[in-house]
Every structure is written in C-alpha cells, then in structure tokens.
C-alpha cells in the first residue's frame, strides 16, 4: 500500500492501513509527519488508559481481563503493548500477545506490540503518536501497557489520560516501587494476584501511603484487589477506572492533561528535530570534534552552537532532513 | 539499507507443544537486533495471519513438529495473501521432510530449516532476503 492510499484506507476502517501507519510512526518515516498531521485533529475521543507497574505484576494479564470485560460490554478496544529493547543488540522479544491470544480473532480488538527502541521511561519513542492513531481510527478505548517499571519511569503520563498502577503481593515490599514517581501518577491502584497471601498487606501499606497524598490533593485514589487470571475483581477495577475518568472529565483535569500533553508533544518534536539537525549522527559529531575541542567541552559546545546558528537551515521537519546531510 | 529493526512474528501453528525450538530461534533473532513478536502455542492459521497484520511484521516464522505442515502452512500463506500481506517473508522450521520443503518453497515459502540448522544461518538468511526486497 503506498502512502497516498493510506489515509483514505485508514478512514475507511482498513486495519492494514492502521497497522502500516503505526509502522511509519515507529520508524519515523519521512512520510509520517504529513500523514499524522492530517489525522491528528481527529484525536481526543478515546479513553486512554495507561497500565504500568513492576515487571511480573500481571499487567498483560490484567489488560487481557480488561479487554474481555470491555468487549462483554460491546466496546471496542485497542492495546499498545510495550516491551524493552536490548541496549546491547537493539533487538527485542515482544511477548505481551501471549496473554492476549483469546482476543486475536475478535474484530473489535487490535493489539500492537512495540519495543522501547532506546527510550528509557517505560514507553517507546512513538507511543503517543501510535495511541493517537488508534484513537482517531475509532477505538473508544486505547490501553497502553508500559514495560515493567521500577521507581522513576513515568513517561506513561505523556501518552495516557489516566494511569492504573498494577502491583502484586510476594514481590518483596510492594511499596518499594512507589517511593516517588509511580506513587504520584496513579489514578487507580490495582493489586493483582489477590488470591496470593500478602495482598491484604500490600493494600494496607498502600492506603497508608495514599492517606498522605489524598490530604494534599483532596482526592481519593481507589485501591482495588483483583485476580486477573480468573477475572475476579476486574469489574470492580473497571468501575473504579470509569468513576475516576468521570471525575477527571468533570473537574477539568482531563482537558488540562490533554493540553499539557499536546504542548509536551510539540516540545519533544522540536527537540528531536533539533538534535538530528545539530548532530546528524554520532559519527558526524565525532568528526566535528578535534582533541583540543574535547579538552574544553564548554568551548566545544559554543563552537558547535555558533556553527549551527551560522548555517540557519531553512529545512523543515516535514520531511525529516536526511542524516549525513552536508553542513 | 534499512535502519529500523526487522520485525518477526514467531508462531507455533497446530497442536504440538514443543516450543523449545521456537523460543531458541526467537531469542537468537532478538540477539541479532530483530524485534520478535512471540505468540505462544496452539495458534490457528487465522490467528497467525491476523497477528501478522496487526504487528505489520516483515517476517513470519513458523515452527511445527506435528507433521501437519502441509495442511497448515499453505493455509497461513493463503490468509496472509488475502490480508494483503503477500510480501511477508515466510520461513519455517521443525520436522519437515525435504520433499515437503521443496513443495512449500515452490508455493512461495522462503527457506525451511530442519533439525541441526544453526541459528546464525537463519538470521543471515532473513537479513539477506529482506535486503533484497523493497522497503515497505
């Protein structure tokens, strides 16, 4: 399918066009900025739910249970499942589909696996653009599942409207994972594997920590116990998520979050484009720097910036300037 | 030359539960810098073709030990073609007699790797095949 045919096919509901556009987003294809800008004004209809939490907490299993419940209510769901890229080889094993097999042949469900490709905050570089595409395609629910995260990876708030943090008992002190970042981004907590011993203790610890937060925000963060493997507690979790969603909608925080997200997106695009324009590639940078430059890093920085100012390129983001362009 | 990682779907069609080979190959391709989507056991041809479409992969790798390859493999190829995914490189491995392999290759399959194949050989083959193909 050539890129000119993608938008009409996408608008007509062709899943292959959606899939190919996701590929374009991921690889930063030259054709993508123009295609995306044509579709992006149509975003903002889906509930974008971020699912995050430590590795092995049961995020994929919870997502699968969530998809089952949404489908039972007749609602279509798209899932963006993110797994880590190896920093050594650039490869990735994307295994989230294993837990979602039962939904593969359901035309109301679309699952796409993405690798982080060097991004460190739990998402992949194009997660936001990819979830925008799923939103514009017409899925009323877009679920974004991050890689298993530790304490500080909270990029999910840059792509989701609201965030569910999934924890499980038996993973040491569950609250370890919540010292800072994760603790503050949760709209709903799910304690998964609630059939295992220790779930009550995790819930108690969590509520104690949340009590401090609630006083500050005047805002109740629900804690729901779940056993996703047999679907127990999923409906309660969904109720909590939907209630939270309505609260955010009514008090204006949803609109504020979306606005912030759009601003952050433009900032990120500018940063990416500038970085490419400044450096081209690591080899270009290395070639620009003599050993005397390297001895005085701040002076080298000024030198590069001066040279960048002097060349004041007229090229635009769309299409992306070629790497290794003569400067 | 492409700069983004090759995307591969590794799938086990049919009823056999021997996924050791599929996992070894998946890990080896990952270590070659590919993004490998692993779907797990007991996939139907329709599930495999749909997963390939949603993941927009460059390669579908099938592993089979049940002997049903002459039924399942052509069906997967047919469904991929019907999905507009006819340009995907289809490779396979497992217990596949030579004459069956020749027949499948004549139907448009890529190479089929039998017991004793080296993982390097599989990764080399995929890289070389995709280098010859136009970018999607």
Interface A:B, Cβ pairs < 8 A: 85
Which residues, listed in sequence order, are joined to residue B50 by a DSSP beta bridge? none
Structure confidence at residue A313 (pLDDT)? 56
State the virtual CA torsion across A44, A252, A124, A319 in degrees, nearest 10: 50
Give residue limits of the domains in chain B: 10-132
Is the CB of residue A143 less than 8 Å from the CB of residue A77?
yes
Name the residue of chain B whose CA is nearest to A21's CA: B56
Q: Pseudo-torsion of CA A4, B8, A128, A163, nearest 10°? A: 150
Say if the Cβ atoms of A16 and B34 lie within 8 Å: no
| pLDDT value of position A175 | 58
Per CATH, domain B10-132 is 3.40.50.280 = yes
- Which residue in chain B has the smallest CA separation from A91? B33
Q: Do A1 and B31 touch (CB under 8 A)?
A: no
B51/A97 touch (CB, cutoff 8 Å), yes or no: yes
Tokens, residue A74? 């007749």
CB-CB under 8 Å, A22 with B38 = no
The residues, any chain, with a CB within 8 Å of residue A246's CB and separated by 6 or more, are: none
CATH architecture of A43-239: 3-Layer(aba) Sandwich (3.40)
| Sequential pLDDT tens for chain A (327 residues) | 778 899 999 999 999 999 999 999 999 899 999 999 999 999 999 999 999 988 888 999 999 999 999 999 999 999 999 998 988 899 999 988 888 888 989 999 999 999 998 777 778 889 999 999 999 999 999 999 998 876 667 788 889 999 999 988 876 555 565 565 677 788 999 999 998 888 888 888 888 878 776 555 567 889 999 987 787 899 999 999 999 999 999 999 999 999 999 999 999 999 888 888 777 766 777 888 888 888 999 999 998 888 888 876 555 555 544 444 443
Res A66: pLDDT: 95
**Cβ separation B38–A98 shorter than 8 A:** yes
Spell out where A200-308 has E strands.
223-225
With contact defined as beta carbons under 8 Å apart, do A118 and A22 qualify? no
Q: Do A93 and B30 touch (CB under 8 A)?
A: yes
Cross-chain residue pair B51–A85, CB shorter than 8 Å: no
List residues bridging with A190 in a β-sheet.
Answer: A166, A224
**Using CA atoms, how far apart are residues A103 and A99, in angstroms rounded to an integer?**
9
Residue of A nearest to B26 (CA): A93
- HSE-CB for A153 with a 13 A CA cutoff: 22
Length reported for chain A: 327
Find all residues with CB under 8 Å of A182, minimum gap 6, and list them.
Answer: A52, A53, A149, A151, A154, A165
A52-87 core/surface letters (b: 16 or more CB in 10 A; e: else)? bbbeebbbbbbbbbbbbbbbeeeebbbbbbbbbbee
Distance from CA of A93 to the nearest CA of B (A): 5
What pLDDT is attached to residue B9?
A: 97
Annotated domain spans of chain A: 43-239
User: In chain B, which residue's Cα lies nearest the Cα of A90?
Assistant: B33
DSSP A185: H
Is there a contact between B25 and B126 (Cβ–Cβ < 8 Å)? no
Q: Which residues of A touch B43 (CB under 8 A)?
A: 101
Element (DSSP H or E) covering residue A27: helix A15-27
Contact A19 B39 (CB under 8 A): no
Pick the closest to residue A257 from A249, A266, A246, A267 (CA basis): A249
Test A112 with B40 for CB contact under 8 angstroms. Answer: no
Nearest residue to A51 via CA among A90, A80, A84, A86 = A80
Q: Return the SS3 of B133.
A: coil
Backbone dihedral angles phi then psi of residue B34, each to the nearest 5 degrees: -95, 155
Distance CA A21, CA A27 (A): 10
Is residue A292 packed enough to be buried (19+ CB in 10 Å), middle (13-18) or exposed (0-12)? exposed
Q: Which of B32, B35, B50 sits opposite A105 (nearest CB)?
A: B50
**Residue range B72-105, pLDDT digits in tens:** 999 999 999 999 999 999 999 999 999 999 999 9
Q: Phi/psi at A237 (nearest 5 deg)? A: -65, -45
Residue for token digits 């504020």?
Answer: A256
Task: Report the pLDDT value the prediction gives residue A322, as an integer from 0 to 100.
Answer: 47
- Residues of A with a Cβ under 8 Å from any B Cβ are 1, 15-16, 19-20, 22-23, 26-27, 85-86, 89-95, 97-98, 101, 104-105, 110-113, 115, 117
Residue in B closest to A87 by C-alpha:
B33
Nearest to A91 among B4, B33, B51 (CB): B33
- Residue A134 neighbours by CB under 8 Å, 6+ apart: A18, A46, A78, A80, A110, A112, A142
CB atoms within 10 A of CB A252: 9
User: Do A195 and A227 touch, CB atoms closer than 8 A?
Assistant: yes
Its ipTM equals 0.93
Nearest-Cα distance to chain B for A178, in Å, is 30
Given an 8 Å threshold on Cβ–Cβ distance, is A26 in contact with B32?
Answer: no
B38 contacts in chain A (CB < 8 Å): 93-95, 97-98
Q: Please report, for chain B, how many H helices and E strands are present, in that order.
A: 5, 5
| Residue of A17, A30, A93 to mutate, interface with B, max B Cβ within 10 Å | A93
Cβ contact (<8 Å) for B5 and A94? no
Q: State pLDDT tens for residues B22-78.
A: 999 999 999 999 999 998 888 999 999 999 999 999 999 999 988 899 999 999 999
Give Dmax over CA atoms of chain B in angstroms. Answer: 39
Beta bridge partners of A227: A232
- Contact residues, chain A, for B40 at CB < 8 Å: 97-98, 101
**In this structure, are strands B59-64 and A109-115 parallel, antiparallel, or unpaired?**
unpaired
Does A93 sit within 8 Å of B38, measured CB to CB?
Answer: yes
- Tell me the C-alpha distance between B118 and B115, whole Å: 9
Burial of B125 (0-12, 13-18, 19+ CB in 10 A): middle
Task: Write down the residue that tokens 């990416």 correspond to.
Answer: A272
Question: A92 and B30: CB-CB below 8 Å?
Answer: yes
Residue A68 preceded by cis peptide, ω within 30: no
Per the CB < 8 Å rule, is A94 touching B35? yes
């Amino acid at each position: 399918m050539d890129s000119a045919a993608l938008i009409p096919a996408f608008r007509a509901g062709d899943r292959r066009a959606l899939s190919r556009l996701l590929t374009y987003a991921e690889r930063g294809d030259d054709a993508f900025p123009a295609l995306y800008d044509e579709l992006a004004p149509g975003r903002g209809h889906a509930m974008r739910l971020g699912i995050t939490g430590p590795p092995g907490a049961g995020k994929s299993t919870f997502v699968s249970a969530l998809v089952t419940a949404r489908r039972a209510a007749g609602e279509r769901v798209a899932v963006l499942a993110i797994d880590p890229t190896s920093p050594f080889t650039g490869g990735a094993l994307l295994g989230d589909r294993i837990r979602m097999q039962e939904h593969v042949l359901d035309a109301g469900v679309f699952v796409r696996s993405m690798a982080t490709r060097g991004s460190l905050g739990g998402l992949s570089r194009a997660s936001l653009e990819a979830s925008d595409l799923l939103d514009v395609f017409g899925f009323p629910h877009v679920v974004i599942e991050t890689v298993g995260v530790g304490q500080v990876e909270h990029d999910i708030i840059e792509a989701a409207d609201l965030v569910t943090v999934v924890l499980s008992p038996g993973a040491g002190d569950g609250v370890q994972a919540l010292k800072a970042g994760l603790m503050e981004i949760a709209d709903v907590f799910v304690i998964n594997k609630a059939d295992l011993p220790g779930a009550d203790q995790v819930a108690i610890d969590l509520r104690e920590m949340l009590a401090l937060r609630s006083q500050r925000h005047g805002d109740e963060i629900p804690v729901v116990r779940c056993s996703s493997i047999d679907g127990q507690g999923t409906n309660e979790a969904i109720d909590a998520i939907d209630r939270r969603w309505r609260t955010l909608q009514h008090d204006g925080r949803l609109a504020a979050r979306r606005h912030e997200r759009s601003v952050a997106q433009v900032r990120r695009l500018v940063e990416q484009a500038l970085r490419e324009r400044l450096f081209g590639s690591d080899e270009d940078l290395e070639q620009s720097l003599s050993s005397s430059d390297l001895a005085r890093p701040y002076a080298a920085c000024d030198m590069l910036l001066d040279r960048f100012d002097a060349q004041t390129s007229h090229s635009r983001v769309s299409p992306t300037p070629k790497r290794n362009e003569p400067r | 030359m492409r700069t983004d990682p090759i995307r591969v779907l590794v799938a086990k069609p049919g009823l056999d539960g021997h996924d050791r080979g599929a996992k070894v190959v998946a890990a080896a391709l990952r270590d070659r810098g590919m993004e490998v989507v692993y779907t797990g056991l007991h996939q139907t041809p329709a599930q495999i073709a749909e997963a390939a479409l949603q993941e927009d992969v460059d390669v579908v790798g099938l592993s089979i030990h049940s002997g049903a390859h002459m039924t399942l493999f052509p069906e997967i190829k047919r469904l991929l073609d019907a999905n507009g995914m006819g340009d995907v490189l289809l490779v396979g491995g497992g217990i596949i007699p030579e004459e069956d392999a020749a027949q499948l290759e004549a139907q448009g399959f890529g190479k089929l790797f039998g017991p004793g194949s080296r993982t390097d050989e599989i990764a080399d083959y995929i890289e070389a095949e995709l280098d010859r193909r136009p970018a999607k």
